[in-house]
Structure formats: structure tokens, C-alpha cells
Amino acid sequence: MRTTLADIAREAGVSTATVDRVLNDRDGVRERTRAQVQAVAARLGYVEDALGSALPASISSLPTGIVDLDIVLPGGTNTFINNLADRFADIAAIRPDVNLRIHSIEGFEPVLLAEKLEALRGKSQGVGLIGLDHPVVREAIRSLAGSGVPVMTLVSDISHVPRVGYVGIDNRAAGRLAGYLLGRFMKADTGKVALFAGSLSYRGHEEREMGFRHMLREEYPGISIVELREIRDDTERAYSEAVALLARYPDLTGIYNIGAGNRGISRALQEAGREKSVVFIGHELTEHTRRFLISGTMDAAIDQNPRVEAREAVDRLARAARGEENPTGPATRLQAIFKENIPEV
């Protein structure tokens, strides 16, 4: 007999509405509950019918051979990257057709990343990475791809390399959205704003900056960018740079944080008593940005879905490793999160 939503709900101890949200990859479900429902659906054989959105393909239709995949992520205090690593671990737990290994390295050392990629040659059947757009990294990717290993870029793309695809948001569009939101939130047609970036060697950060600048130039020409500070996605460095910035510009009216470090910037704004007067736009809905949105320290967070990105990356890498057709998918959907529309954990 065919398994139904009611069967899964009864077995998982949740409502059919919750099962429907999980299987269609909608927000509003706790991660623990989501994993439980997915596991029950897989065990009851509902994967092919219902988990087409939550899982990339029916487990029963997958080839019997297990493929070895490697995901290389930057280490550090970036909460979004840590959440993404957790989502990869979740996907690995319900994908018996892949052996997924997750590696963490210093994110701002291109030589270390290149060495890691070289070390995976002959040991991996597919590699996904978040990496700097740097000559040594590009050469390492070319070498790895030349040996027959499919490579996929994640979150931030890398130019002029033989990759099987990119999984992530349209970062230029994200920067334009940030510029639009900041301009709309500011109470005047003129003002001074500052930008923080992890590193412009990340193509994604560079594209966000470009999009932001273009939006201001097109729609808010009276708003000027006074500084751009690279903080290497480090919370303490973000804090110290923000403290210095606020002291230097007592008339600063806005901050756009392109990468991580929201905790440091928020702390500096709060200590200076300027969390209500400076418009603050950042990225990613995390346990920390959720708190800053509720308190009013942060005005908006431009979010992407790490669960969707992890699922898409594993699916496409596994297909590439097996030599299957691997069409390029659309960019991950952007979502602007405000205090009023924070989704349930």
C-alpha cells in the first residue's frame, strides 16, 4: 500500500500540516522535527513521492554504488557557514548513496585551500567548496577538474574555472536589495554609510558591494559611502573596526555588512547608544541576527536557505560523480527578514 502523509504524521508524532511543510521544504518547522519527519518518510518508503523537494531523488531509484564527496568550508566564527556545515551533515545522514566528508580550513588563506584541493585529487569523486577567487585556488580547481573530479562552487562563485555548477544566491542582486532597503529605511535623502566585508577576494562579497553601490547611485545619489572595511568574517575584528568607525563618524547614518561579523557590529552600536539611529542591514538569519532584529539593532537581514543549498549541492555533485546529466539550477531564493516576519525556528 502507498504511504500517505497521515502515515508519516502518525509515525513521527506530528500533524499532517507539519509533514506537508517538511516535504515541500517550507519554513516554520524546527530542525529536529524536520529531520525526524524526513527520516520517517524515508523509512516508510515515501521518498520518491514526497521527498522530491526535501531530497533530490528517490533513494530506491539511486544507483547502488556509494560515491565519495567532499565539502570544503572556511572555518571561523561565521554562524551561517557553521549552519551550512550542519545542514550538510543532516543531508549525509539521510543519503545512503553518498559518503560525505566535510572539511574546515582557514577561510582567508588561498594557499591552504589550494593544498586541500590538491590533496583530494584521487581520493574524491566530487568536491564542493566555498573559496576565494584567487589565482592559486583557480589553478588548484583546474588541476582537480582536469583529473576527472567534478567541482562545484558554493555560496560565492569563482571565475574562469571548469566547474559543474554554482549553488548559492545571486550576490549582485543581494547587494542591490541591501542598498534598496537601506535607502528606504533612512529618514533623509542624504547621509553617510559604511560597508563591512569579510574579504573582497570572495567574489560573492565583491558582487554584493557592486550591487549595493549601483543601487545607491541609481536610486539614492545623496547617500555617500565613506568607508569599506574588510574584517575577515571575524567577530572581534568587526567589533573593534565598528568602534573606530563610529568614533570617526558621529554623523554616520547607515551600515551594510556584506559578510559575517554581525555580532561585533551590533555590540559596537549598542555600546555607543546608536543602535536606533544607524540603519543596519546584514546577511543571514541566525540565532544572533534573530536577536538583533527583535531588539531593533538590525533593521533587516538578507537570508538564504542553507538547507536548500546543502541539498542541491549534494544532489548535483552526486549526479556529476556518476556521469549523469546535471542541468544548472536557478540561484537560491533571496528573502528579506524583518522583525515582523521572522520565521519559527
- Residue 51: the pLDDT is 39
Phi/psi of residue 289, nearest 5 degrees: -65, -30
- Tell me the range of 29-43, 85-99, 201-215, 322-336 where mean pLDDT is highest: 201-215
Task: Give this prediction's pTM.
Answer: 0.82
**pLDDT tens column, 95-150:** 889 999 999 998 789 999 999 999 999 999 999 999 999 999 999 999 999 999 99
Domain ranges of the chain: 5-50, 65-168+306-332, 171-303
Among 9-18, 39-48, 70-79, which range has the highest average pLDDT? 70-79
Name every residue whose Cβ is closer than 8 Å to that of residue 50 and which is 6 or more positions away in sequence: 5, 8, 23, 41
pLDDT at 54 over 60: no
pLDDT at 50: 36
- 5-12 helix and 31-43 helix, angle to the nearest 10 degrees: 120
* Dihedral, CA of residue 308, residue 345, residue 231 and residue 311, to nearest 10: -10
CATH architecture of the region 171-303: 3-Layer(aba) Sandwich (3.40)
Q: How many other β-carbons are positioned within 10 Å of the β-carbon of residue 184? A: 12
For residue 47, pLDDT over 70 is answered with: no
- Estimate the share of the chain in helix, then strand, then coil, as percent rounded to the nearest 5: 45, 15, 35
5-50 falls under which CATH superfamily? lambda repressor-like DNA-binding domains (1.10.260.40)
Q: What is the pLDDT of residue 6?
A: 78
pLDDT for 33: 86
Lowest mean pLDDT among 73-77, 154-158, 176-180, 226-230: 73-77
**CATH homologous superfamily of 65-168+306-332:** Response regulator (3.40.50.2300)
DSSP structure class, residue 339 = G
Mean pLDDT of the chain: 90
Query: What is the structure's pLDDT at 345?
Result: 60
**Beta-strand runs (E) in the chain:** 67-74, 98-105, 126-129, 151-154, 165-167, 191-197, 223-230, 252-257, 279-283, 300-303, 335-337
> What gap in Å lies between CA 321 and CA 30, rounded to an integer?
32
State the pLDDT at residue 2.
Answer: 59
- The reply to whether domains 65-168+306-332 and 171-303 share a CATH topology is yes
Q: Are 168 and 309 in contact (CB under 8 A)?
A: yes
Confidence of residue 327 (pLDDT cuts 50, 70, 90): low
